[in-house]
Chains A and B, each alone.
Chain A
C-alpha cells in the first residue's frame, strides 16, 4: 500500500472531554495525528497536557469522547496501554534492575516470547535472547550509546538515561511515541543533543516518505519549552483553558481544548538553532495559548491537519 496522509492515522481524538469531580480539564478536544508527524504539545501549566497524554496512553481513558490509535492495522479504542503506543517519561523512565542493553531488549522479550517459552525452552530462549540483545545493541549504537550498554541506570547521567528510554520505546516500532516532558530535567546542552537525535529520526522519516513508504516514527512531545517545541515539532498544538467559551454558551470554563494548531518550520539535525528566528512564533503562541487575557474563538488558530 502506498503512503498517503489521509489513510495513515497514528491517532484520532474525537470530542474528548475529561474532568475530575467539579474540575473540568478537557473539553471537546479533537486531534488527528498522521503517521510521520512530530507533534509538539504546549500549553499553560494545569491545562491538561498530562491528562491528555495519559488518556492517549490508555491508563486514564477520557470520560467522554473517543481516542483511537492504530492497532494491528486498524484504528481501535485506546482504553488501556498497549504495545502500539510507546511512552518516555521524565522520571522513572528505565528499569533500575536492568542494564541499558537489557532495558532496550526488554520490550522484544516481553512482546515476542512468553513466560512458559522462557522457562521451558531453554535453548530456544537463549538463542532468542542473544538475538534480542544484538538488536538492542544496534539501537543503542544508533542513539550514540555504544559504550554504555552494560551500565545500570543508576550509573548513567540523566541524558544517557533518556537516550536509552527513547531507544527502549523505538525498538518496539510503535505507531506513536508519547514523550512527557522528556528533557525537562536535563541541562541545556544535553537537551539540544537529544533534540538533534529526534531530528535525525525526522530526517529518516522524510527519506522513507520520499520513497513512498509509511514513515516509521510518529511523536507527540509534551514540553513547556517553546523553543524545543518549535525546533523538534513539525506541528505545534496548543492546549489551553483560555478561550472564548462564553460565546459558546457556557457559564463556567468547560476545560481546555485545542486553541492553536499550526505547522512548524522543520530543522535539520546538524543545523544550529537560531532562537531569535523563533520569536514571532513564540509571541503568537504566548498570546493565544498562554495569555488568560486573550480569549479568542476556539477554532480561530486551528488549521486542522496542516499540510507540510
Chain B
C-alpha cells in the first residue's frame, strides 16, 4: 500500500513541476505535460516513412544485442568461475587477467571495442560479455572456494565420482549465488549497451534517446527510460523467481 502511495506522490509531483514550468513557458518540452507525453508515445508507436515503428525496431535491435551479449557472458563467466574454483592451475593462470579486466571501465574502453570489432553485433556482444564475465567468474570462483572441504570429502565417502562432486555438490550450492551475481550484472550490462548505442548505433534505445534528446523531445526520452527501467525490473523479478523455484533452501537460509 505504501509503495503505491509513493508512486502516486511521485506522479503528482511530476505533474506539479511540469504545470509550473508550462506556466512560465507554454512551449516547454524539457518537462512535458501529460498531453505532450501522449504525443511522444504516439510518435514512437506510429508507422514512420520507412514502414517501421520506432518502438518495435528499437526493441528488437537492443533486445537482441542485450540477450546475445548477456547470454555469452553468462556461459563464459560461469565456466571460467567453475574452472578457476576447481583447478588450481587455471586459478593461478586466470586470476591476474580477470582482476585486471574487472577494473577496466567498459564505457571508457568503448573505443577499443569499436577498433577491434567494428560497430556491428559482434562489438555489442563482445563488450557486454567481457564487461560482465569478470564479476560473474569471480563470484562463482569465490563461492566454490568458500565451500568447506568437509562437504567435498564427505561426498566421496558417499560414493561420488569427481564429476559428481562438481555437479551434485559444488554446482548446486553455487547456483543461487550465481543467480544473485547475474541480477547485479544486469545493471552494468544495460549501461554498456546504451552507451555504445549512443555513440555508434543507428537503431536501438541508446540511439533513439540520444537523437530525441538533441531535438529536446523529452516526451520520447522519458517513456523510453521508463521502458528500460521496467525491462530491468522484469528481468530481476524473473531471476528472483527462478532462484526461489530452483533453490528454495537458499531463501530459507537468508531468513
Using a CB–CB distance below 8 Å, which chain A residues touch chain B?
A: 57, 59, 80-83, 85-87, 89, 91-93, 95-98, 106-107, 110-112, 115, 152, 154-155, 168-169, 172, 174
* Contact residue among B148, B155, B172, B249 (Cβ-Cβ distance under 8 Å from A91): B148
Residue-wise interface mask of B (233-255) relative to A, using a CB-CB cutoff of 8 A (1 in contact, 0 not): 00000000000000111101100
Q: Give Cα distance in the complex from A223 to B148, angstroms.
A: 21
Which residue from chain B places its CB closest to the CB of A89 in the assembled complex? B150
B153 touches A154 (CB 8 A): no
B156 touches A80 (CB 8 A): yes
Q: Give Cα distance in the complex from A257 to B148, angstroms.
A: 29
Which residue from chain B places its CB closest to the CB of A151 in the assembled complex? B252
Which residue from chain B places its CB closest to the CB of A59 in the assembled complex? B153
B158 touches A106 (CB 8 A): yes
Q: Which of B38-46, B55-63, B98-106, B161-169 contacts A (4 or more CB under 8 A)?
A: B161-169
9 pairs of A and B residues whose beta carbons are closest in the complex: A111-B159, A107-B158, A81-B156, A83-B159, A92-B150, A110-B160, A92-B148, A152-B249, A110-B159
Q: Provided the pairs A110-B164, A152-B252 are in contact, do residues A168 and B172 lie with their beta carbons within 8 angstroms?
A: no
A172 touches B252 (CB 8 A): no
Q: Give Cα distance in the complex from A277 to B226, angstroms.
A: 78
Q: Provided the pairs A97-B173, A110-B160, A172-B158 are in contact, do residues A115 and B249 lie with their beta carbons within 8 angstroms?
A: no
A87 touches B153 (CB 8 A): yes
Q: Does B53 contact A (CB under 8 A)?
A: no
B148 touches A83 (CB 8 A): no
Q: Does B90 contact A (CB under 8 A)?
A: no
A172 touches B148 (CB 8 A): no
Q: Does B151 contact A (CB under 8 A)?
A: yes
Q: List 16 A-B contacts (CB under 8 A).
A: A57-B153, A81-B156, A83-B159, A85-B157, A89-B154, A91-B148, A93-B150, A95-B172, A96-B253, A97-B172, A98-B249, A106-B168, A110-B160, A152-B252, A168-B158, A172-B159
A91 touches B158 (CB 8 A): no
**Chain B residue contacts of A89, Cβ below 8 A:** 150, 154
A81 touches B253 (CB 8 A): no
Size of B's binding interface in residues, CB under 8 A: 26
Residue-wise interface mask of B (19-53) relative to A, using a CB-CB cutoff of 8 A (1 in contact, 0 not): 00000000000000000000000000000000000
Q: Give Cα distance in the complex from A115 to B165, angstroms.
A: 11
B253 touches A154 (CB 8 A): yes
B148 touches A110 (CB 8 A): no
**Chain A residue contacts of B153, Cβ below 8 A:** 57, 59, 81, 87
Q: Give Cα distance in the complex from A83 to B161, angstroms.
A: 11
**Chain A residue contacts of B169, Cβ below 8 A:** 95
Q: Give Cα distance in the complex from A93 to B157, angstroms.
A: 12
* Contact residue among B157, B249, B250, B253 (Cβ-Cβ distance under 8 Å from A172): B157
Q: Give Cα distance in the complex from A168 to B253, angstroms.
A: 21
**Besides the known contacts A82-B156, A96-B253, 7 further A-B residue pairs in the complex with CB atoms under 8 A apart:** A83-B159, A87-B153, A89-B154, A97-B173, A115-B167, A154-B249, A169-B157
Q: Give Cα distance in the complex from A59 to B173, angstroms.
A: 22
**Chain A residue contacts of B158, Cβ below 8 A:** 83, 106-107, 110-111, 168, 172
Which residue from chain A places its CB closest to the CB of B247 in the assembled complex? A97
Q: Provided the pairs A83-B157, A86-B157, A168-B158 are in contact, do residues A110 and B168 lie with their beta carbons within 8 angstroms?
A: yes
Q: How far is the CB of A93 from chain B (nearest CB, A)?
A: 8
B157 touches A81 (CB 8 A): yes
B155 touches A110 (CB 8 A): yes
Q: How far is the CB of B243 from chain A (nearest CB, A)?
A: 12
Q: Give Cα distance in the complex from A168 to B159, angstroms.
A: 12
Q: Give Cα distance in the complex from A80 to B161, angstroms.
A: 12
Which residue from chain A places its CB closest to the CB of B165 in the assembled complex? A110
Q: How far is the CB of B143 from chain A (nearest CB, A)?
A: 13
Q: Give Cα distance in the complex from A57 to B150, angstroms.
A: 11
**Chain A residue contacts of B148, Cβ below 8 A:** 91-92
A97 touches B157 (CB 8 A): no
Q: Provided the pairs A91-B148, A115-B163 are in contact, do residues A154 and B157 lie with their beta carbons within 8 angstroms?
A: no
* Contact residue among A80, A92, A154 (Cβ-Cβ distance under 8 Å from B252): A154
Q: How far is the CB of A47 from chain B (nearest CB, A)?
A: 21
Q: How far is the CB of B164 from chain A (nearest CB, A)?
A: 6
Which residue from chain A places its CB closest to the CB of B248 in the assembled complex? A152
Q: Give Cα distance in the complex from A198 to B167, angstroms.
A: 33
A87 touches B154 (CB 8 A): yes
**Chain B residue contacts of A169, Cβ below 8 A:** 157
**Chain B residue contacts of A83, Cβ below 8 A:** 156-159
